[in-house]
Amino acid sequence: MRRLLFPFVSIVGQDDMKRALLLNIVDPGIGGVLIKGEKGTAKSTTVRSLAQILPGRMSVDGCPFHCDPSRPDIMCPYCSERYASNPDLPTVTERMKVVELPLSATEDRVAGTLDIEHVLKTGEKKFEPGVLAQANGNLLYVDEVNLLDDHIVDLLLDSAAMGVNYIEREGVSFSHPSRFILVGTMNPEEGELRPQLLDRFGLSVDVRGDKDTEQRMEVVRRRLAFDMDPVAYTKGTESDTDSVRERIVRARELLPKVTSDESVLKTVVTVTTNFGIDGHRADITMMKAAKANAALEGRTAVTKDDVRAVASLVLSHRMRRRPFEEEAFDTGELERCLQSV
């Protein structure tokens, strides 16, 4: 029997975490999200519950890499060969999934393996797909990402950035599409990620337990009600869940129509410069996130409010800090910066 997940729409508070996740679903090009927080703050519960609101997608029927039939330019070798002989490939509609990466996963388990013996005997490449193949077109969730080996994290981030997984063994190579939304969660008390890896995540959120008495009481009420009868509780949230999914679908359709003028671009660059951010990745990510936020709100024009909504998500993990300095994004400074533009 399939285990029911606590509904996404029943998560109390944690608005920044939910916004960061929804923005990435609307535009996977934002670059994923890193969620940092102490244990018991609903990090894993929220990410896993996304399976209920993820939209559907088209893929080539029978393809182990779930290739997008509308993108022949990024198909796997098998689908490219089939497409060359007949562009009318059989398709199937399936819901996007949350694919979890085990903490103990090896590089071969993540990237997949080439059967060198089969290649030598037959001259044909035989590839055993890994987690990155399952993740193509889906959401890849890595719990305790800070405890993964650095070379595994590098592999995940490189694949997420390039949209391709490339494997080479004994001079034999194979590549396949690997476009996914990367979501990592971690408890900072158990160790940090290297700054170079932090910057590669598009957005970052620091989550904390609710201090408000009423909100904490509501968390307990909802959890106990769900545990008492998961089926009935989930059924009672179906309407709200469907509404969120439909909102995401509309936002994804609206996103290509969203525009921003020079004043918004100037606002973004002024904000990143004011906070001393190196490089241009933050500027580009903030523009993408602001556009996705506008689409999520049902608008086709980016405003200063969109920049305000996403600035802390884009900048909080990219700011230079002295040793032992507390991680805290200065919203007052952001507001002064926005008012000056």
Rounded to an integer, what is the distance from CA 221 to the centroid of its chain?
Answer: 29
Give yes or no for a contact between 17 and 206, defined as CB atoms under 8 angstroms apart.
Answer: no
Active-site residue numbers? Answer: 281
Give yes or no for a contact between 293 and 286, defined as CB atoms under 8 angstroms apart.
Answer: no
Give yes or no for a contact between 32 and 183, defined as CB atoms under 8 angstroms apart.
Answer: yes
Q: What does residue 89 show for φ and ψ, rounded to 5 degrees?
A: -80, 145
- The rounded radius of gyration (Å) of the Cα atoms in the chain is 21
What angle do the packed helices 304-315 and 331-340 form, to 10 degrees? Answer: 140
Residue 225 token pair: 């009600």
Q: Measured between alpha carbons, how far is 245 from 164 in angstroms, rounded to an integer?
A: 27
Q: Measured between alpha carbons, how far is 314 from 22 in angstroms, rounded to an integer?
A: 14
User: Regarding beta strands 127-128 and 33-37, do their DSSP bridges make them parallel or antiparallel, or are they unpaired?
Assistant: unpaired
Give yes or no for a contact between 277 and 167, defined as CB atoms under 8 angstroms apart.
Answer: no
